[in-house]
Amino acid sequence: MAVNSDSKSAASLPSEAESLGLWAQIKEDWQAHGCDWTKPGFRAVAVYRFGNWRMTLEPKILRAPFSILYRMLYRKVRNTYGIELPYTAKLGRRVIFEHQHGIVIHGFCTLGDDCIVRQGVTIGNRYIDRPLEAPKFGDRVNIGAGAKILGAIEIGPDANIGANAVVLHDIPPGGTVVGIPAKLLKPKE
């Protein structure tokens, strides 16, 4: 099969969320958060979307005032609501931050579409000598309160992570894990 040398690789194409405009993404996130602009989760995601949008502005001198505004809003959300969501993370569409406080998302983490994150969740690296390793989540992952997901692991679509679980290994699609360290529950037969 011949390959057109002008075609872009899948990795260089924008994600579905990035292909939407800023206001379309924010409207979709607003609807996912119950059409309530006062929810801290919605505000955190809106600031995240703004942070990504401002990086598309060229030249850098035009981007500068938006970067200052983004940094102020990011710190306001982090310090007021306790949701640390840097613009460098990859966030899918309609991701919901159900509650506030104690949520830390690694800057290289990938969250798929329709994921739910609750309070006290930490998604980060596992080893101090490998600071860029972060989890990758499929679509529709449900993360319980207080869960810790650490390391370069993959969480399959439709997975459920129980409250306070410490996840250090991959989770298959549709799997449910609970405990410290997290163990996969076997489905009822």
pLDDT tens readout for residues 130-179: 999 999 999 999 999 999 999 999 999 999 999 999 999 999 999 999 99
Across 98-162, where does the E strand assignment appear?
Answer: 103-105, 110-111, 116-117, 122-124, 136-137, 142-143, 148-150, 154-155, 160-161
Nearest to 140 by CA among 95, 180, 78: 95
pLDDT band at 186 (very low <50, low <70, confident <90, very high): confident
Q: What is the mean pLDDT of the chain?
A: 89
State the number of CA atoms in the 13 A half-sphere of 128 facing the CB: 0
* Four-CA torsion 37, 158, 168, 182, nearest 10 degrees: 100
Q: What domains can you pick out in the chain, each with its CATH number?
A: 20-184 (2.160.10.10)
At 1-22, the pLDDT tens digits run 344 444 333 333 345 556 789 9
Query: pLDDT class for 122, splitting at 50, 70, 90?
Result: very high
